[in-house]
Amino acid sequence: MQTDGNGRTAGGDEWGIVIEGFTKRYEDLVAVDELTLRVRRGELFTFLGPNGAGKTTTIKALAGLIRPTAGRLAVAGFDVQRDPVEAKRRIGFIPDHPYLYEKLSGADFFHFVGDLFSIPREVQEERMRHYFGLFGLMPAADKLIENYSHGMRQKLVVSVALMHDPEVLIVDEPLVGLDPRSSRTLKDLMREQVGAGKTVFLSLHQLPVAEEISDRIGIIHKGRLLYVGTVEELRARLHRAADLEDLFLELTAGDDEEEAATGRG
């Protein structure tokens, strides 16, 4: 990846995410095999695949949590390995199993992360009222996180991830544990981010939701990218006027039990 004088990779103005030849090996296991993918600014991209296909491995590499065996990844024009601080400043990350400081209150945790991003306290307060209000968390803002339900914790993580107004939102299975109203709120928030020119990279198992909200999808299987494009383009490719679930199952048919046993993330 070529860079400009500010350290951004070439094409950083157009692409929110650039992945080139990303490979991750764990001893004899190839979790992701030479993945190349670009996601535009102002696009909601959903990454789909069977359990163990390589989705979470890719997301962790984008978030800078694991190092690639080969290849490069860039977020908002910054190389995740060469400029990790600048890349992470521009990322909002919602993991599938978030770690929270349970002896802090929801408000304290929000302020803790806000201070890490050097966001003024008055801005933090404004954004906390906004996001906590959307998710109904204000009555629990001063309660310890150890007393939060799974759904409340998920709402807190979403609120914190959006607090610093990230250029790229990376989300791994965000709807698990959310009630229908909160799920709708989160889907609306992700579309709002895209409407503001941000990039949303989403891993999801709920295929009807993916079909509903995605601009494009990518399907990964056994660590290799099988398809990138719109759902309509996938229908044309497979010559079937079917829903995404049927198309997905056809494209990834076979070896499901073997794949689940490989341990790919």
Q: Is the confidence at residue 75, as pLDDT, over 60?
A: yes
Burial class for 263, CB neighbours closer than 10 Å (0-12, 13-18, 19+): exposed
pTM: 0.88
d(CA 2, CA 190): 30
Say what the pLDDT of residue 188 is. 94
Six-digit token string for 168: 């790229």
d(CA 94, CA 202): 9
Say what the pLDDT of residue 255 is. 52
Q: Is the confidence at residue 104, as pLDDT, over 50?
A: yes
**Strands 78-79, 15-26: pairing kind:** unpaired
| Residue of 119, 25, 127 lying closest to 70 (CA atoms) | 25
Question: How far is it between the farthest Cα atoms of the chain?
Answer: 55
